[in-house]
């Protein structure tokens, strides 16, 4: 493969999402994918041809670095410094929207795992395994519900910003609600959602149980 053609392929691949790269690698195979992107012979050579003999020789990253020797004949090896991409400025700034778009396929994987666990639960006869599956399904359901709640909150914020911008564009004064009013509206909306899903009674019982345990702890502290 010519260098110009490989450069064009690399430019095209650099614009693909993480999911598309994984699918492409599965379709063509990791060996073909590596040869196309990185070249067939570059990875195996330890020494590369230099444009100028005075320049340092390029060494393959696959070769293990040599151990350093101290004066007292103790051999030590440089330990790699751990880097967290979330807080490393070299990795760029985190964009939640781009991250969500690139890794949207994870939700489909979770839903598929949930369906498999539900099918396994129907046919499972081992009580211990059944209990494990129930706990896993409960955790998955909680994660999906939390994700839906976060998505709704983000949609509300986006809609609110667009309404404020539209009013400012039209020369109108936007109305900003107090935090107490927003909190009350969110509580009413949550109440309506629980009522529709027939989970209101369970939510009230859980809330009352939490309050009673809190009051009990306060009483124990006051008596001690």
pLDDT in tens, 178-193: 888 878 887 888 788 7
Residue with tokens 């009051």: 215
Give the mean pLDDT of 151-161.
Answer: 84
Identify the H or E element spanning 192: helix 179-196
Residue with tokens 């939390």: 146
pLDDT on residue 207: 79
DSSP code, position 55? S
Q: Could you read off the pLDDT of 90-111 as tens digits, one per residue?
A: 777 777 778 888 888 888 898 9
Q: Is the pLDDT assigned to residue 42 strictly greater than 50? A: no
pLDDT on residue 137: 92
Give the mean pLDDT of 199-210.
Answer: 78
Split at pLDDT 50, 70, 90, the class of 115 is very high
Within 8 A by CB and 6+ apart from 19, the residues are 102, 103, 104, 105
pTM: 0.45
Q: Could you read off the pLDDT of 15-33 as tens digits, one per residue?
A: 777 777 778 778 877 777 7
Residue with tokens 């909150």: 153
Task: Kindly state the tokens that stand for 59.
Answer: 């060494």
Q: Average pLDDT of the chain?
A: 77
């Amino acid at each position: 493969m010519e260098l110009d053609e490989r450069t064009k392929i690399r430019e095209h691949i650099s614009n693909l999402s993480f999911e598309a790269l994984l699918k492409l690698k599965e379709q063509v195979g990791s060996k073909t994918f590596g040869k196309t992107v990185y070249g067939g012979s570059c990875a195996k050579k330890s020494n590369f041809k230099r444009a100028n003999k005075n320049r340092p020789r390029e060494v393959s990253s696959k070769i293990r670095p040599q151990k350093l020797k101290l004066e007292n004949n103790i051999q030590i090896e440089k330990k790699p410094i751990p880097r967290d991409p979330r807080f490393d400025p070299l990795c760029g700034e985190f964009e939640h929207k781009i991250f969500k778009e690139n890794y949207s396929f994870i939700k489909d994987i979770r839903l598929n795992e949930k369906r498999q666990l539900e099918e396994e639960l129907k046919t499972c006869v081992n009580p211990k395994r059944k209990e494990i599956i129930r706990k896993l399904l409960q955790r998955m359901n909680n994660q999906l519900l939390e994700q839906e709640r976060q998505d709704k909150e983000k949609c509300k914020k986006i809609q609110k910003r667009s309404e404020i911008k539209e009013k400012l564009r039209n020369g109108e004064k936007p109305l900003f609600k107090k935090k107490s009013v927003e909190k009350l509206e969110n509580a009413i909306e949550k109440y309506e959602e629980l009522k529709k899903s027939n989970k209101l009674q369970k939510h009230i019982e859980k809330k009352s149980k939490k309050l009673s345990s809190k009051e009990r702890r306060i009483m124990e502290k006051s008596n001690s």
